[in-house]
Structure 1
Amino acid sequence: MAKTTEERRRARVRRSIMKAANGRPRLSVHRTSQHIYAQVIDDKEGQTLAAASSLEKTMREALKTGADTAAASAIGKLIAERALAAGVTKVVFDRGSFIYHGRVKALAEAAREGGLEF
């Protein structure tokens, strides 16, 4: 069965990330038209170490919408805080099939400001 352009792009990004990871956990980002999600994943153990999304009750109350760069920045700061609490300081950024622009870029920059290195 033929893969879509999005599936090919996701696989290409994931392949290059796994080569460059050197055992570091992966900061995976997923966005939809209404929300944004982030997870720090340890691929060796197959575990999620930290997660944050605009669907969480505290985020829904604090944010106007989950679909703007302000929400992405808030999620980036939150995921950095949770990752540091879990003992993770260095990660590799997995943008998935999304272009590094807009909300994905805002989340990444906020996570860097929060203390994650990538």
Structure 2
Amino acid sequence: MNASGELVLAVAGGAIGDGRTGSVVAGIVALAAVGLGALARARAKGRLGGGPWPAGGTAAMAAALLAVALGVLHLATSTGGFGTGNGRAGAIVAILLGLLGGALGRAERAARSTTPGSR
């Protein structure tokens, strides 16, 4: 098999682990997006200090975008239905968590832009 064939196989989830690998990776990225969004939201509301990294909302939205993209990619390339062990339900949960993380990151950016003296 040539290198491009192996890359296609790896993206489709065929060469790396079992069928759940793609949804697990998407889920981990989605949980990171939710965590970053929650921390950024708490920082924007003044519950935490300013911290050394004020761009938490942007990082949460970027991680959320990646999580949603990975979840959709896994759903598009997986075969079988629910209960077959291929990670379809995990990919859907990752998409939902990614959307939540993106919403938290966007809310932080909106709160920061309306706070006087935040720029």
Range class of TM-score, shorter chain: 0.3 to 0.5
Q: Which has the larger radius of gyration?
A: 2
State the TM-score, normalizing by the size of structure 1.
Answer: 0.32
Higher relative contact order (CA 8 A, sep 6+): 2
State the TM-score, normalizing by the size of structure 2.
Answer: 0.32
